[in-house]
Amino acid sequence: MISLQPFVELQDRIGYRFNEPDLLVRAMTHSSYRNENLDVPWDNERLEFLGDAVLSIVVATLLWREYPDEDEGSLTRARARLVSEEALASCARRLGLGDYLLLGRGEDTTGGRDRNSVLSDALEAVVGAIYVDGGNDIAAKRVQAFLAPELSEDFPVMSDRDPRSRLQERTQALGFGTPVYKVIRVTGPTHEPVFVVEVRCAEGQYRIQGNGGTKKLAATAGAKRLLEMLP
C-alpha cells in the first residue's frame, strides 16, 4: 500500500489539490516500480499518453491566441520547443517531481530521478492526472503556470515578425525611438501571477498597458495595443 502523505506537499508544489489523490500517486509511479511491486496495479504510462495530448492542445491554443500574425510553420516550431523533452524535464525539476517519483531500485540507482526522459514523462502524467481530476480549464491554467519560465522574455518563441519587433520597426520609422517596457505591477498568487506591463514611446506621448501570465505575454499584449494607437 502506497502512503499518500508524501504527496500532500507535492500538491502544494504543483498548485493543485486533487479530489482523487490516487491520480497523483499514479502519475508518479514509473513502470519500473510497478514491475518490482506486483501488488501495485498501475504505472503512469496511460496518464502520460493523455497528458501529452493535453499539453499539445493547450500550448497550441496559447500560441494561436498570443501570436495571431504568425504562420503555421512558426507556431509549429514554437510548440515543438515548448513541449520538448528538455523543456518539460526542466519544468519537472522546478516542481521537484524527481523527489516524489516511485522508481524501481535499478532505475533509481542509475539516476532515473534526474533523467530527462523520466522527468518529462512524469510531468506529462501529472498534466493528464490534473485533466482527469479537474477538467480542461484547470489543466490549461496549470500548464501555462508550469511553462511560464519557458515563455519568459529570454525565450525566442517567435520570429522577428512578433508584435514587439513590429512595434519597434514602426516607432523607429516614425522617429519615436525604441519602445520602453516596464512592469508596473504583479497580481495573483505566486504560482499563477498576472503581470501588467506599460509600453510607451515618443517620450510617453503614446502609452498603453498589457497584461498576461508572464512578462513576455504582457509585453506582447501591450505592443499589440500600442501598434493600433500609432499613426
Catalytic residues: 52, 124
Q: Cell digits for 203?
A: 517620450
Q: Cell digits for 229?
A: 494607437
* Cβ atoms of 125 and 47 closer than 8 Å: yes
CB within 8 Å of 135: residues ≥ 6 apart: none
> What's the half-sphere exposure (Cβ side, CA atoms, 13 Å) at 192?
13
**Residue 200 one-letter amino acid:** R
Cα dist from 43 to 80, 125, 134, whole Å: 26, 10, 20
Q: Cell digits for 157?
A: 518563441
C-alpha closest to that of 147 among 24, 29, 27, 61: 61
Mode of pairing for the β-strands spanning 180-187 and 206-212: unpaired
